[in-house]
Amino acid sequence: MSRYYLTTPLYYVNAAPHLGHAYTTVIADCLARYHRLKGDGVFFLTGTDEHGQKIEQAAAAAGKAPKEFADSIVPGFKKLWETLHISYDHFIRTTDSYHTDGVRAALEKLFKEGKIYPKTYDGWYCVPDETFCPKPDIENGKPVCPDCHRPIEQIKEKNYFFKLGEYQNWLAGHIEKNDSFIVPKTRRNEVLSFLKDQKLQDLCISRPKARLEWGIEMPSPPFEPGYVTYVWFDALLNYITALGYPDMKNPKWIWPADVHLIGKDILRPHAIYWPVMLKALGLEPPKTVAVHGWWLVEGEKMSKSRGNIVDPHTIVAEYGVDAYRYFLLREVPFGHDGTFSEKAMDKRYNADLANDLGNLLHRTLTMIEKYFGGVVPCYTQSFVGMPADLEKGWDSFDFQKAISGLWAWIDQGNTLIDERKPWVLAKAAAKTEELKAVLGGLADMLRTLAILLWPIMPSTSENIWKQLGCPGKISREKLWAAGASSGQKVQKGRPLFPRRE
């Protein structure tokens, strides 16, 4: 059995989750389910990033201690993952003691090996991004963060630095040799040209407690007392502390990760800091960092600080969870930015879900009831082929390809009905082989669709499975066999996706 370890980023707990967070997590869930269906041993990790100035400030604004504040936000994430049918295997919080212990062990090892050293940092810091900005941009005469263009603050502190710079050539070489280390290609090229154009600075990995209380305390000795570790150094390590780091004999230890799924705003920490941290720790880099775009609202990134949040609960209440999951995967090519609107959701819902998929099931079951007393007929000659290119789509993060392959197949099913006209065939005195082949074939097709759609729309798939009268649970072994559904008693239910006017 191959194993498949995939992760989402750890979400900041400064506010409730929104569409942007839901997007990363839904994609991860679909991939996890796809691999489970394939029979892989999946470990799907998600969780929350709870330290740092941003959380400290949000907690203060809410009149709570940081941990108490984090405790009040985390259930909102778990609740949303439940609503969205997210099948994660483990939820890590950066305040969990196994994580903080693992981070301290990593810090100690790197310090003892001379890969971390003290120095005074005199420069700019971006609180919203929790990053040091050695080269700020100037806008309207004021220094701003070169990434997010928000105001930054000046700090002068003695801190500990990680020797990131030493690994520049190694990292560039690793990326060049491994096509699929960063996908899509545009992001890979972005990192490669960054590494070619700029000298990689060493990374500041601490904050004095006098400036930031809310972090993982650095072990003293060997570090001077009074330091906490910098958010990114803490958070990135979750991908291995969740597996039991530093205990590599832990039965949970399945490093390297197959996929870190992230948004484009956190490319640099994942594609630069993290592989170098791993290399310094003597561990392999992850196999793939897969980078998606942003959901925009009127051209701006959706975020709490911009106040343009679309609450996933509202949309799910309106359209249902599977339509939401489907929309997120289908609407925007992976890696591109997309614009969320209810108009676009309505269009997809009515066209793809109500008309194409919903109708195919409904028409097929209605006719099986009408012409065969609800029992799927046996047939000999099959009119239905298999959809093409599915695996390629999934394996290359081209979800649109995977989904449009399925929808082309659904179209074939609807066209088969329109062209063969079962209602005309049924008028023949004896129920012809052709009528049996059309309806029996369609039942087999829908059964296969239920399996193939399961990673994206698990409850809809289970519903189709049940309405077709398929026994047992959805599984890959039951994928395609002509005649597999013959003899089943269908149980037509309500339409899967009632049309929205």
Residues of this chain that interact with ligand MSP (CB under 6 A) are 9-12, 20-21, 23-24, 49, 235-236, 238, 262-263, 265-266, 294-295, 301-303
Q: The tokens of 153 are what? A: 């603050």
Q: What is the DSSP string of 401-451?
A: HHHHHHHHHHHHHHHHHHHH-HHHHTTSSS--HHHHHHHHHHHHHHHHHHH
Rounded to a whole number of angstroms, the minimum distance from the CB of residue 263 to ligand MSP is 2
Closest residue to ligand MSP: CB criterion: 263
Looking at the Cβ atoms of 49 and 322, the one nearer to ligand MSP is 49
Rounded to a whole number of angstroms, the minimum distance from the CB of residue 355 to ligand MSP is 29
Looking at the Cβ atoms of 294 and 465, the one nearer to ligand MSP is 294
Q: The tokens of 215 are what? A: 């972090």
Looking at the Cβ atoms of 89 and 391, the one nearer to ligand MSP is 89
The whole-angstrom separation of Cα 441 and Cα 447 is 10
- Rg (alpha carbons) of the chain, rounded to whole number: 26
Ramachandran class of 496: left when φ > 0, alpha when ψ lies in -120 to 50, beta otherwise: alpha
User: What are the backbone angles phi and psi of residue 186, rounded to the nearest 5°?
Assistant: -55, -40
Rounded to a whole number of angstroms, the minimum distance from the CB of residue 417 to ligand MSP is 39
Rounded to a whole number of angstroms, the minimum distance from the CB of residue 380 to ligand MSP is 50
**CB-based burial label for 256 (10 Å; 0-12, 13-18, 19+):** middle
Looking at the Cβ atoms of 229 and 485, the one nearer to ligand MSP is 229
Rounded to a whole number of angstroms, the minimum distance from the CB of residue 308 to ligand MSP is 9
Rounded to a whole number of angstroms, the minimum distance from the CB of residue 159 to ligand MSP is 20
Looking at the Cβ atoms of 27 and 417, the one nearer to ligand MSP is 27
Looking at the Cβ atoms of 20 and 387, the one nearer to ligand MSP is 20
Looking at the Cβ atoms of 99 and 420, the one nearer to ligand MSP is 99
Q: The tokens of 439 are what? A: 């309806």
Rounded to a whole number of angstroms, the minimum distance from the CB of residue 331 to ligand MSP is 12
Count of CA atoms in the C-beta half-sphere (13 A) of 461: 21
Cα separations in angstroms, 181 against 203, 266, 294, 407: 22, 15, 21, 30
Query: Angle at CA 122, nearest 5°, toward 117 and 123?
Result: 120
Looking at the Cβ atoms of 25 and 359, the one nearer to ligand MSP is 25
Count of CA atoms in the C-beta half-sphere (13 A) of 265: 20
Distance of CA 183 to the CA centre of its chain: 14
Do 474 and 462 meet the contact criterion of CB atoms below 8 Å apart?
yes
Looking at the Cβ atoms of 152 and 360, the one nearer to ligand MSP is 152
Cα separations in angstroms, 295 against 56, 210, 338, 449, 486: 27, 37, 5, 29, 45
Rounded to a whole number of angstroms, the minimum distance from the CB of residue 285 to ligand MSP is 15
Rounded to a whole number of angstroms, the minimum distance from the CB of residue 491 to ligand MSP is 39
